[in-house]
Amino acid sequence: MSETLRQFKAGIFQALAHPTRIAIVETLREGELSAGAIIEKLALEQANVSQHLAVLRTRHIVISRKEGNQVFYTVRDPLLIEVLDIMRSYFQAHIEESVTMLQEFEQMDNTESAKQ
């Protein structure tokens, strides 16, 4: 497989590699929502959500449609939702280890801060 294709794939994964962006995609699971509605549902900063939406747009994970004042977003391909669903079963299948793993990451974070 070409390096170009691998870069493309990495870009898609990268676009999904943030909890907030995953939250956005899952919020859009039921269908179209305005940026404002997403912000409200997630209870996050407007600028922050907008930045994450920009990442998802650039990677064509979502499509945006402007209507008057608002911008409506949809997930472009349902396949992505399917992927997220599979990952949930994966998580559940390995729940014990998954929690341990996340705890280890937190532990690392604490160790880092402790150094200061």
Quick one: which segment of 11-19, 22-30, 79-87, 88-96 binds DNA (CB under 7 A)?
11-19
| Pair 20, 49: CB distance under 8 Å | yes
Please report how close the Cβ of residue 80 comes to a copy of itself at its closest, in angstroms. Answer: 7
HSE value, Cβ hemisphere, 13 Å, CA-based, for 61: 26
In the complex with DNA, the residue whose CB is nearer, 27 or 36, is: 36
Burial classification of residue 64, based on how many CB atoms lie within 10 Å of its CB (0-12 exposed, 13-18 middle, 19 or more buried): middle
4 interacts with a copy of itself by CB under 8 A: yes
DSSP state, 11? H
Regarding 27 and contact with DNA (CB under 7 A), the answer is no
35 binds DNA (CB under 7 A): yes
**Total residues in contact with DNA, by rule CB under 7 A:** 27
